[in-house]
Amino acid sequence: MDYPASKAQLAEHAEQQGASLGVRTVIEALPDGEYSDAAAVSRAVGAVE
């Protein structure tokens, strides 16, 4: 995964990698925007859960 990445790019990458429905659902729940790195995605996921 190349960063920065948008929510749409994260979702596309997850689908291409065969991510589970649960993972894809969490990605869809993330706020729209651009994520600078994996740590930024992790922080956003923590806020969603």
β-pairing, 34-35 vs 5-6, is: antiparallel
Model confidence over 11-45: pLDDT tens digits? 999 999 999 999 999 999 999 999 999 999 999 99
pLDDT of 7 > 80? The answer is yes
Parent domain of 44: 5-48
Alpha-carbon distance 17 to 28, whole Å? 16
pLDDT of 49 > 80? The answer is no
Q: How many CA atoms lie within 13 A of 12 on its CB side?
A: 7
pLDDT at 2: 96
Count of structural domains within the chain: 1
pLDDT at 48: 86
Residues 6+ apart with CB under 8 A from 26: 45, 48, 49
15: which 2 tokens? Answer: 């689908």
